[in-house]
Structure 1
Amino acid sequence: MPKRTFSENLGRGAGSMLLERRSTGTIEVYLLLRRGGKQQRRKLGVYDEVNEHGQRCGLAYWRREAASVSAELRQFDTLHAYDEHRRRIALEKERAVAEEARQGTFQQLLSDYVDNMERLGRSSFKEVRGTLKLNVLTPFPALCARRAKDITPPDISEIVRHCLQRPVATKGRGARPTKANATIGKKRQADKLRAYLQAAFSFGLENDLDPLRVGNTLYGLTVNPARDVPVIKGANRANTWVLTKDELRAVVLAVEELPVRHCAIAKSMLYLAGQRVEMLCRAVWADFLDDGEHGPVMRLVDRKGGHDTPDRDHLLPMTPRLSQIMAPLLALEAQGKAPGPFSIRGSVNIAPSTALNIFTELGDRLASEGKSRRFTWRNIRATIETHLAAMGVTQERRAWLLSHGRSGVQAKHYDRYSYLYEKRHDLDRWARYLDGLAVESKTDNVVQLRG
């Protein structure tokens, strides 16, 4: 009958390895050590078992394992101290695994970033979500599945390069953009994408340290990989041009030909001096109130700013001319269906994209008729501010009127004056300017008929 036990000395002070056969035939492997005058043993495993690497553990394997454990055990006074040491190591590994499991992927980071924008009421969250889906999530699924902390600056550069090189997305309506405009448009979109990615990683860096963060996801970020990707040169050149006085006159006249509510919305956008469309589309009936000192006013909510910038009320006086222009829209309140005045169907507020499209279609039409260059609402806003400047409205007053960002501690935190008097004066001047364009056109037509 084979021997029941087998032992082998590991060297002076290292103890010995013991193999012991059980009645079942299983051979167990032990390490024997003498501590405090007493011999103690520690089970190492089972002879000929298959380890985690798929290898059978024979005699050579257990000799190495026994020598390794013996060397480690000799650093501790007792086996109990050694066991505590191993337990701490195991807990640390478990925590590391759990921490790794909590660390979000690149896709999770982008999704959480946009969700946070929506939670904070940022008006651009839909645009950002669509841009990231088109340029990151769809074309780079493998990259999006990686941990956010593993994304590198070259990865960000490749994403932005893809945005620059992909074909221009069109919806098939109207004339196609010229090659030059398409190129500049792609540059602008690529630079916006770069900025969105940089903001997303900044959000991730702050999230890991924020005790008020929502959820348990951590990203493990230490750097912002989008920070060092350079700004796209030439990305903002396309929007520097503005309409001439004759082109603006053509716009004013063309707006009059629109259906009643389309006309009222488009004229409101013009006569309100180019307020941000997202702010107008959020207006509800409760935002129309009487200031007491300054009469009827319309309150718009300005949500533009950083993640820690609170919403700001932007008050605009409802001048007699504005009330006249908006009459078809203000009449909707009596019907009790539309939540606010800027509604086409009389049941829901108009979407910003629908309002913007009014001027996009006008730009296509007037360009095809040779009355102006092709424009969008962005060009109209630049045109309005430029013409206001030409009329002598100072930069500071234009900032009050159009709710541009305020800088400096005094302006941001202590100046709570609404500037309604100044806004009323400038809106009245602007209304007279636009009305004058239409009058000049009618006068020119009369002169031509008489001629």
Structure 2
Amino acid sequence: MSNLTDLEVKNLSEDSYKTESLGRGRGAFMIRKRGKSYQAFYRYWRGKQKAMVPIGSYSPPRTKASGLSLKEIREKATELATLRQQISPQDLKEYLEQQEADRQQQAEEKRRQAEIESSYGTLEDLCTSYLSDMEIKGLKSVKTVRNALNLYCLEAFPKLAKAKARDITPDDIVAIIRKMMEQGITTTCNRVRSYLMTAFNYGMKADHNPRQLTEHGKRFNIDFNPVMAVPKQADYERVRDRRLSDDEIYDMWINVHQGKSSWSPVYGLFVRFCLACFGNRPEQLNDVKWSDIDFRMKTLRFTDFKGKHGTPKKRIIPLTPTALDILEQVKSVSGDYSWPFSTSGKTPIRTDNVANFLRAYNDWRSKQLKEKNREVPDTWTQKDLRTTATGLLTRLRIPKEQRYLLQSREDGSVESKHYDHDDRLEEKWDAAMIYDDCLQKIISGKASDTLVDLEHYRQIKGH
């Protein structure tokens, strides 16, 4: 049989067809006309039954219809005939149907894997989820951590921010820290490393946290923490030990408003309150509400989020006469507010504003000393009040256990890790009154180097 021509196919009548043999035992291809379209098939026999495998649409020459030319149909039919011989005795149509089923299954698996992959969170998603968890826990450091991660990681490395968290490598962490070092940043390098370390540790557990999946809908599938392989720079850790002298405490108490005289007196009173409350952390005292103060029992309660895992711990400290006097003064400003140390009544003052307030005082103090040709000491911050208070407590020979109770430090006991009930309040009062007596002498200009022995004080108190 001669080869089909385009003219023969074109002249087909409605629902008729033409065939072309591919050789003995190799089957044939046929083209059938249906309406205005032409469909091509590969035809072969399996036993006494005819089998048809679709090839595609035929497109006559010089037409705009999409489809295959007669030559292309012939080539495809020849390929099918050859394949039929290669897979024999398996049936061609069954083989092709199985191939199509396998292809669809593979496509579905690929789609499913792509869907799973798209559900994996990026480094940016990980940081966002971690920061959200910090906010839920009420951690005060969330703002600092957010600013650092945004500045040094997400904004500095936008491509890395969009990479899957599970694909982040130690080399990526090194790149982040290295860039900071090249910019002359030292201590903050270790801080950012610590934030990333904690974020990845959080991400490794987050996949099994129903709340995280509900609120963020992202999985991270992190197999290992890439930050672990990047060492901390020990020489970048500067241990600050700035303690105010008695003269500096006296001057601060009298002149702390000189730097920002236009600011609310609440700021100066807050600085004094931090020292009067044994150097407890500003961010904790700042959040205290009037409802946390028991004026009858002369105590103050607050929640300490500092420490491993940020587990909240109840704390209670005595309010000495000095601390109570400060609260009486601040009542005239914020007595109708929820917080003693508030200027708006809507929120407590911000500790970064306190930092600015003290910076202005330090500048004023330095200027005064320079004008008098006196030595200018290093500036100090609100955090140095804690070190100063510790120095005073140590100087007064108050035992470590009582110091820890007053300053809300953990002493390693189970009790201190979770609670700080008033059943130890008497111990605190003994140490608190010695401390307050010393502080009163300093701020009145009557400081003495005489040391006070706590046991001796208790014996005097008992008489």
Name the TM-score, length of structure 2 as normaliser.
0.74
Counterpart contact for 1:113–1:203, Cα < 8 Å? yes
SS at match of 2:316: strand
Counterpart contact for 2:119–2:219, Cα < 8 Å? yes
Q: Which of these residues, 277, 284, 288, is aligned with residue 283 of structure 1?
A: 288
Map of 1:299 onto structure 2:
301
Please say which of residues 204-213 and 344-353 is displaced more in the overlay. 344-353
Residue 216 (structure 2) pairs with residue 215 (structure 1) = yes
Inter-partner Cα distance in structure 2 for 1:107 and 1:57:
53
SS at match of 1:239: coil
- C-alpha displacement of 1:33: 9.6
Percentage of identical aligned residues: 24
Rg (Cα) greater in structure: 2
Map of 1:327 onto structure 2:
328
Residue 109 (structure 2) pairs with residue 109 (structure 1) = no
Counterpart contact for 1:105–1:147, Cα < 8 Å? yes
The one-character-per-residue Cα deviations of 1:365-415 (angstroms, maximum 9, x if unpaired) are: 334424521121222322221332232223322222222246454543587
Please say which of residues 81-90 and 363-372 is displaced more in the overlay. 81-90
SS at match of 1:209: coil
Inter-partner Cα distance in structure 2 for 1:428 and 1:263:
23
- C-alpha displacement of 1:340: 1.0
Inter-partner Cα distance in structure 2 for 1:276 and 1:423:
17
Residue 211 (structure 2) pairs with residue 206 (structure 1) = no
Map of 1:271 onto structure 2:
276
The one-character-per-residue Cα deviations of 1:150-174 (angstroms, maximum 9, x if unpaired) are: 22111111111222232xxxxxxxx
> Can you give the 5+ residue segments of structure 2 that lack an aligned partner in the other structure?
1-7, 10-16, 60-65, 370-374, 449-463
- C-alpha displacement of 1:190: 1.2
Counterpart contact for 2:83–2:92, Cα < 8 Å? no
Inter-partner Cα distance in structure 2 for 1:75 and 1:311:
72
Distance verdict in 2 for CA 1:441–1:91, change over 3 Å: same
Map of 1:421 onto structure 2:
426
Q: Which of these residues, 151, 155, 174, is aligned with residue 134 of structure 1?
A: 151
Inter-partner Cα distance in structure 1 for 2:338 and 2:78:
78
- C-alpha displacement of 1:232: 1.6
The one-character-per-residue Cα deviations of 1:327-349 (angstroms, maximum 9, x if unpaired) are: 12134465x2x221012456642
SS at match of 2:338: coil
**Structure 1 letter corresponding to 2:129:** D
Counterpart contact for 1:247–1:372, Cα < 8 Å? no
Counterpart contact for 2:257–2:361, Cα < 8 Å? no
Counterpart contact for 1:26–1:47, Cα < 8 Å? yes
- C-alpha displacement of 1:16: 7.3
**Structure 2 letter corresponding to 1:340:** W
Distance verdict in 2 for CA 1:267–1:386, change over 3 Å: same
Please say which of residues 281-290 and 406-415 is displaced more in the overlay. 406-415
> Can you give the 5+ residue segments of structure 1 that lack an aligned partner in the other structure?
10-14, 51-55, 167-182, 444-451
**Structure 1 letter corresponding to 2:353:** T
Counterpart contact for 2:29–2:40, Cα < 8 Å? yes
Please say which of residues 141-150 and 205-214 is displaced more in the overlay. 205-214
Map of 2:178 onto structure 1:
161
Map of 2:12 onto structure 1:
none
In the TM superposition, 1:240-255 aligns within 5 A as 240-255=241-256
Map of 1:196 onto structure 2:
195
Inter-partner Cα distance in structure 1 for 2:186 and 2:362:
22
SS at match of 2:349: coil
Inter-partner Cα distance in structure 2 for 1:418 and 1:58:
97
**Structure 2 letter corresponding to 1:363:** N
Name the TM-score, length of structure 1 as normaliser.
0.75
- C-alpha displacement of 1:191: 0.7
Map of 2:115 onto structure 1:
98
**Structure 2 letter corresponding to 1:208:** D
Inter-partner Cα distance in structure 1 for 2:386 and 2:77:
78
Distance verdict in 2 for CA 1:401–1:33, change over 3 Å: farther
Map of 2:352 onto structure 1:
353
Map of 2:389 onto structure 1:
384
Distance verdict in 2 for CA 1:43–1:223, change over 3 Å: farther
Counterpart contact for 1:156–1:225, Cα < 8 Å? yes
Inter-partner Cα distance in structure 2 for 1:40 and 1:241:
93
- C-alpha displacement of 1:303: 2.0
Query: What is the aligned residue count?
Result: 407
